[in-house]
Amino acid sequence: MSDAADQTPAVNRRKALIKAVIFAAFIAAAIGLVRFTPVQDYLTPDALSGLLADAGLWAPLAFILIYAIGVCLFVPGSVLTGLGAVIFGAYWGFVYVWFGAMIGAAAAFCIGRTLGRDFAASLIGDRLRKYDDRIERNGFAAVLYLRLIYFPFTPLNFGLGLTKVHFRDYFFGTGVGILVGTFIFTFFFGTLKDVWASGDWGALRSFKVFFSIGLFVISFFIPKLIQKVRKA
């Protein structure tokens, strides 16, 4: 009985290590697929528009799926968001980008939790364990804060999967946290696209354009504002 009990931790560590190796291989393959294969050729407005045109009425769902997959493949969120705004406009682009980002964020979190959590937990010392426990207790607030300060989207999705944060807190914290940034970026790029498409360069002096530029600039000050509020 004792022999079996002694072997159990070793077996668990071996399983955790195997999953961690698979996790690392997945990340390496995902990054390599986007950077060193023709996949990157489709990450342009013209190429993606042509691809979505073939989808017809299913184009929004196709884009949401492409966005979600792109998130898991480490395609920069700013690139995907800009493409959504250019193709679908400021408002529908915002809707489709948000849903795609949420699905991709949930998938990346589950991949990180399934393949990397056990190994990460075995490496956590007493000092880091305190932070791990804290994010478990205050998951929603912690995730919301990290989203509002524009922490890199995809690395954070996978990284939070390695922590003890509950999926419910992660999901809702992400959903609320990315609303502001997603709207600002889609509104900005969508507005500039409308001006470009119309050819009316005088529209660059319109309120909508100045408003979108103002929102875009303000978005970079959000992290500092949040830090000041937290210190107050």
For the chain, the structural domain boundaries read 2-231
Task: Write out pLDDT tens, residues 80-114.
Answer: 998 999 899 888 999 999 999 999 999 999 999 99
Choice among 11-15, 54-58, 134-138, 214-218 with the minimum mean pLDDT:
214-218
| pLDDT score, position 162 | 92
Q: d(Cα 157, Cα 139) in Å, to the nearest integer?
A: 13
For CA atoms 226, 214, 95, 81, give the dihedral sign. negative
User: How many C-beta atoms lie closer than 10 Å to residue 170's C-beta?
Assistant: 24
Q: At residue 7, does pLDDT exceed 60?
A: no
Amino acid identity for residue 27 in this structure: I
**Assigned token pair, 53:** 């045109």
Angle CA 219–141–217, to nearest 5: 0
Task: Write out pLDDT tens, residues 167-212.
Answer: 999 999 999 999 888 888 888 888 777 777 666 666 566 666 677 6
Q: d(Cα 115, Cα 29) in Å, to the nearest integer?
A: 15
Cβ-contact 54, 64 below 8 angstroms: no
| pLDDT score, position 171 | 97
Q: Residue with structure tokens 């159990």?
A: 8
Q: Residues 213-219: what's their mean pLDDT? A: 71
| pLDDT score, position 206 | 67
Q: At residue 77, does pLDDT exceed 60?
A: yes
Q: d(Cα 207, Cα 59) in Å, to the nearest integer?
A: 31
Indicate the angle between helix axes 153-161 and 167-198, nearest 10 degrees: 170
Amino acid identity for residue 7 in this structure: Q
Q: Give 1's pLDDT tier (boundaries 50, 70, 90).
A: very low
Cβ-contact 16, 119 below 8 angstroms: yes
| pLDDT score, position 120 | 85
Cβ-contact 186, 93 below 8 angstroms: yes
Q: d(Cα 203, Cα 194) in Å, to the nearest integer?
A: 9
Mean pLDDT over all residues of the chain? Answer: 84
Q: Residues 64-69: what's their mean pLDDT? A: 96
Cβ-contact 65, 101 below 8 angstroms: no
| pLDDT score, position 169 | 95
Q: At residue 58, does pLDDT exceed 60?
A: yes
Q: Which of 61, 93, 65 is nearest to 190 (CA)?
A: 93
Backbone φ, ψ for residue 206 (5° rounding)? -75, 160
Q: Which of 162, 147, 78 is nearest to 117 (CA)?
A: 162
Q: Residues 47-58: what's their mean pLDDT? A: 88
Task: Write out pLDDT tens, residues 107-153.
Answer: 999 999 999 998 888 877 666 677 788 888 889 989 988 888 878 89
Cβ-contact 177, 219 below 8 angstroms: no
- What global pTM score does this model have? 0.83
